[in-house]
Amino acid sequence: MIKALRTTAALLLLGASTLAATASQADTANTPTTATIHADTPGPVYDKDIFTQFAEHLGEGIYGGLWVGKDSAIPNTNGFRNDVVGALRDLSVPVIRWPGGCFADEYHWREGIGDPKNRPVKVNTHWGGVTEPNAVGTHEFFELIRQVGAEAYVAGNVGDGSPREMAEWVEYMTAPAGSLADERAANGHKEPWHVKYFGIGNELWGCGGQMRAEYAADVTRRYSTFVKTPAPDLMNGKVDNKLLKVAAGANVEDYNWTETMMRIAAPTLDGLSLHYYVHPAGGWPPRAEPVNFDESGWADALHEAWRMDELITKHSAIMDKYDPKKRMFLAVDEWGAWYKQDPGTHPGFLRQQNTMRDALIAAINLDIFAKHADRVRLTAIAQMVNVLQAMILTQDDKMVLTPTYWVFHMYKPWQDATVLPIDIKTPTYTVGKYTLPAVSGSAVKGKDGKIHVSLSNADATKANTVTITLDGAKEGKVSGTILTAPAINSHNTFAAPNVVKPAAFNGAKLKGSTLTVTLPAKSVVVLDLQ
């Protein structure tokens, strides 16, 4: 997890790649938004792994949120909650990052294998000082992967682990034969698992070791050398179990870190991470209220969300110097909003309620990732269940889906779709000292052959009419879905789980090559054109 300082840098005007906002100071109610979608000049693929989820041993993210144990009265399959797993399957979660986060920096994988009754009970020194039973280890994680239908992003321990420990973990997970494969089989799983991504440490500049950039780059190069999967069995035509190595990248605007990693360690890597959290109300430590905020608090958070575009642009430019063909990807594998914890919750558990404001933060970020889809091919919102900007909240046997969950659900057609460049000219939305584009959006051609368009209106009180020109698209039909709510701080609770939930949208009209959409205040809309 990141401890990032809030920036007050001015919002830059966004270029016309996939998301462009040439903002004026006009009033939103009087100046409509215009846009052009270039369906005749398709862009890169919007990799489905941009929808990766993050599950850390933190608070009730694992225990209680995902895992209840095989003997629990809560309906489960091999210890994992059926309701939560079902909701994640409905979300088409492509990848799950585990076991951290800072927890990974002190995680020793051998403590999480074998008979659960014989596993050591440790103290989670990062998150709350509570006991960690090691009930969920490697085998359990891959059972979760199987149930959700996702792939694995495993974060290795560079903080206080050794290259040998990391190499043996990879061998234990992926080797088809040998002593570690035999040990894996003795523990209940004969066949090797597929590990798509492996993190060479986490936040080496912080909880992963407080390293300097040059030292971290050398350490990364060393550890990465020993992280390897078995070679392909060419005689039998078996496919190599290749994994993609992701280095611990920069904290927010630490561009020197990216420069140093790329200069020293890039040849040994496939990806480089970036961590950025929205910290409204003055930065670190988190002091913004998750629910009891006014329109200034709303605008503050959304203004900070737009900072992601500047960060990706500048970090990508550095990567371009060393990797102009974009072999490596930028993995924004921790992002989202970080507020004060909900009142009465355990210190260090980072549980916070999720409102309509978080829905807009999610939509803005997903649109920004579309703009940078040539370099950004993996991101992981923090986190999946019960922690920070979560998809799902649980309490005992109850579960509720958050506004952020529903945005991810609405954007499912973006997974592995082709980005269609969209130029958006929108007025600004201003509250006090915070100014940001009123409308955000992105467009893709989905695997289903349809054009899908997202539009969100950040204005908390005024509607916005958007007129879109479709270049290269044929006339057809339009249908849509909207997520909005009675108030900017509307949220779902166990007593009222459907306050913020998608509904059919009929505010769009398609005539010839012109699409006209009226966006209500504080809304996210996804349109399907066919």
Contact 28, 464 (CB under 8 A): yes
Give the CA dihedral 87, 400, 359, 410, nearest 10 degrees.
Answer: 30
DSSP 17-69: SS--B--BSS-TTTS-EEEEEETTS---EE-GGGGEEE--SSTTSSBTTTB--
Sheet containing 514-519: order of strands? 422-425, 33-38, 464-471, 514-519, 508-511
The two structure tokens encoding residue 293: 């905020």
Nearest one of 502, 520, 525, 507 to 464, comparing CA atoms: 520
- CB within 8 A of 345, min separation 6: which ones? 351
Q: Which amino acid is at 60?
A: E
Residue labelled with tokens 């503050």: 300
How far is residue 201's CA from residue 224's CA, in Å, rounded to a whole number? 10
Q: Is 466 exposed, middle or buried (0-12, 13-18, 19+ CB in 10 A)?
A: buried
Annotated catalytic sites, by residue?
203, 334
How far is residue 72's CA from residue 66's CA, in Å, rounded to a whole number? 12
How far is residue 189's CA from residue 193's CA, in Å, rounded to a whole number? 9
DSSP 417-453: EEE--EEEE-BEEEETTEEEESEEEEEEE-TTS-EEE
